[in-house]
Structure 1
Amino acid sequence: MALSAHLDGVIRAVEASGAKVLGADPLPGDQGVLQLMVNDGEAAALRGVIDRLLSPSDLLITDHLPQVPRVFVSDMDSTMIGQECIDELADFAGIKDQIAAITERAMQGELDFIAALTERVQLLAGLDEAAIQQCLDERIRDMPGAATLVATLKAHGCETVLVTGGFHQFADPVAQRLGFERVVGNRLAVEQGKLTGGLVGDIVDSAVKERVLRECAAAAGDAHSLATGDGANDIPMLQAAHYGVAYHAKPKARAAANGAVDFGDLTSVLRLLGLAEGKWAK
């Protein structure tokens, strides 16, 4: 459904809900991207109307014209790449279905993230370390538009950080390939060429993701920040960002964010910010 074709109806419905639309800009595209601005505190009413009339949709709801973010923090699995690394790695151990079921419940917010991660990693004990590289080579693929998103943001002076509840053994090469400047993640413990079933150091969970975003924004002078993610463990990070975009996300993550991409690839994030059209100055 092209959002622009329904713009007048959306505006009438929003204003009927009590929110005042400050501006509306339908952007071009196969499905359309809609920018709507409302007064501070009225975003919830607008989001309810949008989701009722135009869900799924690519949207960003703010109380100001979008600004170029100076900080970009993103989840990795099912956001910057199309897979859940631990699920694919588990396939090499013959237990993908078992681990994937736990992953899905954790990303839906039905399980405690740390407990679910610990359980899944323990199930991988004894797997050859070489399976990691094989999994990277054969299974792990970038999301469409990921490299363009990162490169465009960097060209506008944005710091880019990949923060994941997954593992450095995957995140480091993915970050290098996509152009991220920093990686925060967990590390699988390995001894004598085999996974031990444990992790090295503290676990990166939702609280760490949020903290990384806040620290980066503070270091940049409380700059505008952008976050992308898809699962329940991304919610605090998405909510802490000026622009939290849930990308083809689980329902709880989508509901918590002030932006969503349901149709497009990751370049839709640029379109939501106006960067794809070169509308805003650096």
Structure 2
Amino acid sequence: MAFNNNEEKQENQPITFKVYSDLFLFNKQKTLLQSNALYQYVLETSVFPKEHPSLKELRDMTEKHPRSHMATPADEGQLISMLVKLINAKNTMEIGVYTGYSLLSTALALPSDGKVVALDITREYYELGLPMIEKAGVIHKIDFREGHALSLLDELLQDENNKGTFDFVFVDADKENYINYHKKVIDLVKVGGLIGYDNTLWSGSVALPPDAPMEEFIRDLRGHVIEVNKYLAQDSRIEICQLTVADGITLCRRIS
């Protein structure tokens, strides 16, 4: 995170402390941009004016939930929608649904005969967003499957007809299993298709020393995120692009 050249550093305050304190201040807004004001500018100028009414309703509802930090932010939902349209995706998948903001973003972007297979360990949070999804008129595009994602992926892989058929897969689930998800998803996505992994900058903690001050849940999963980033970088079957949108999203294009 860069300093403003005009900003005076406080006397006797280590630079590293300033970086860490800024990092976690900005993380509350789910962004790695230099200031909350700049992030708000992006939202108000480019994101919120184009947000579908059902997405706004779902976002407003989710912000009141105790686990609202799990939600996909609106700017990332906009990115997902654009990607789905750019690659003309019809057959997609989402691993980790929560209340469904990214799921609804995908479903709205798909053509009328498109589908998104949505995998989550529980229907509880998905059902909170279901009224907004139904109101948007896209419920027919969603195939929700409840259970452990690794087992559900194995079921898909048992049918040879599923291999190499998905245009886009978005993964936003337990970080401990990202590498395990990748090993299965890579066989389901088609050559030329995209996989998106969310939270791959993990509040910026991936670039901090291990003893840096950070919230416990950030520290607990930081190592897993670092490992998946290394793994994706060396996987010769994909091209990757690390984006600094929201909490970091890594796009993987399958090339073989």
TM-score of the superposed pair, with normalisation by structure 1? 0.34
Richer in helix (by share)? 2
Q: Which has the higher contact order (CA 8 A, sep 6+)?
A: 1
